[in-house]
């Protein structure tokens, strides 16, 4: 499995862009920076959305608007009932953006955009991948995703989250899972703000690893760092790596990992 970090951060500022993972160049988890890959986004037919906050859905309108004339199959968007309803009501409503679920692919009877409501525990199979949503602890309904490649390996992506049990339980119980990508938005001095907004701080991450991670052969990658606090979080992640858990890192835009 190849995982490319298209967007690594929890917002946009200067040259730092919001969350987007690309799996084997075909499946996206969130779309905060998907337009970065240009026309190659035409080969992305499946986007799994963690939740409906702007930094996670930002590029869906641009990608479908620019590329639907050359698409051969619909762009499929997956998310919870809350997420799908939000996208339909607040974005693709012909006021903010055209409703591409009613615009057909050129020279085709198929519509260019499809929404697919999924539920926690569903197993969505796409080619050699099985993608399972799980609940994360955020201020609105949010999914994380377990992504397994058949007969190979898997990863977990938390979505925006504060402290939770699901991601650590799955990591501990499934040896196929090789990496956790987890929201760490703030440095430890903003632990109260992290709690109020339901994101992890570096201090929270340290506590979660100490208390809940039983395996010692799994990589933990912090993502969704708020750009303004990147330098502080970077230093604190390095301290966690040195003192607590040697396999914790942070992601950068353009990083590519193979599992």
Residue 170's CATH number? 3.60.15.10
Residue 229, domain member (yes or no)? yes
CA nearest neighbour of 82 among 42, 49, 46, 54: 49
**Owning domain of residue 125:** 2-249
CA nearest neighbour of 209 among 176, 258, 249, 160: 249
CA nearest neighbour of 182 among 145, 215, 230: 145
Does this model's pTM top 0.95? My answer is: yes
Residue 255, domain member (yes or no)? no
Residue 38, domain member (yes or no)? yes
Residue 36, domain member (yes or no)? yes
Residue 123, domain member (yes or no)? yes
Residue 257, domain member (yes or no)? no
Residue 258, domain member (yes or no)? no
CB-based contact 34:8 (threshold 8 Å):
no
pLDDT at 151: 86
For residue range 93-130, list pLDDT tens digits in order.
999 999 999 999 998 999 999 999 999 999 999 999 99
Other residues' Cβ atoms within 10 Å of the Cβ of residue 235: 11
pLDDT at 26: 95
| In the block, residue with structure tokens 């987890």 | 182
Residue 92, domain member (yes or no)? yes
> Over its length of 259 residues, how does the chain's per-residue pLDDT go in tens digits?
999 999 999 999 999 999 999 999 999 999 999 999 999 999 999 999 999 999 999 999 999 999 999 999 999 999 999 999 999 999 999 999 999 999 999 989 999 999 999 999 999 999 999 999 999 999 999 999 999 999 899 999 999 999 999 999 999 999 999 999 999 999 999 999 999 999 999 999 999 999 999 999 999 999 999 999 999 999 999 999 999 999 999 999 999 999 9
E strands, 53-153, are: 75-79, 113-117, 124-126, 129-136, 142-149
- Structural domains of the chain, count: 1
DSSP 28: E
CA dist., res. 18 & res. 31, Å (int): 8
């Amino acid at each position: 499995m190849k995982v490319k970090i298209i967007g690594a951060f929890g917002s946009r500022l200067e040259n730092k862009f919001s969350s987007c993972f690309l799996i084997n160049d075909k499946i996206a988890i969130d779309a905060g920076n998907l337009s970065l890959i240009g026309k190659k986004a035409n080969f992305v037919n499946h986007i799994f959305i963690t939740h409906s906050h702007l930094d996670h859905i930002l590029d869906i309108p641009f990608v479908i608007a620019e590329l639907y004339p050359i698409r051969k199959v619909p762009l499929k968007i997956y998310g919870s009932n809350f997420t799908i309803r939000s996208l339909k009501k607040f974005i693709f409503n012909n006021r903010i953006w055209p409703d591409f679920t009613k615009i057909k692919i050129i020279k085709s009877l198929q519509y260019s955009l499809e929404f697919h409501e999924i539920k926690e525990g569903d197993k969505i199979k796409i080619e050699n991948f099985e993608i399972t949503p799980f609940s994360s602890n955020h201020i609105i309904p949010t999914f994380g995703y377990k992504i397994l490649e058949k007969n190979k390996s898997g990863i977990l992506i938390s979505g925006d989250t504060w402290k939770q049990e699901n991601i650590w339980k799955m990591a501990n119980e499934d040896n196929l899972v090789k990496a956790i990508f987890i929201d760490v938005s703030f440095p430890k001095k903003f632990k109260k703000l992290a709690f109020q907004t339901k994101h992890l701080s570096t201090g929270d991450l340290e506590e979660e690893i100490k208390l809940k991670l039983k395996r010692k052969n799994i990589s933990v990658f912090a993502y969704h760092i708020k750009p303004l606090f990147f330098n502080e979080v970077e230093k604190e992640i390095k301290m966690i790596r040195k003192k607590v858990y040697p396999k914790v890192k942070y992601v950068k835009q353009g990083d590519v990992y193979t599992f």
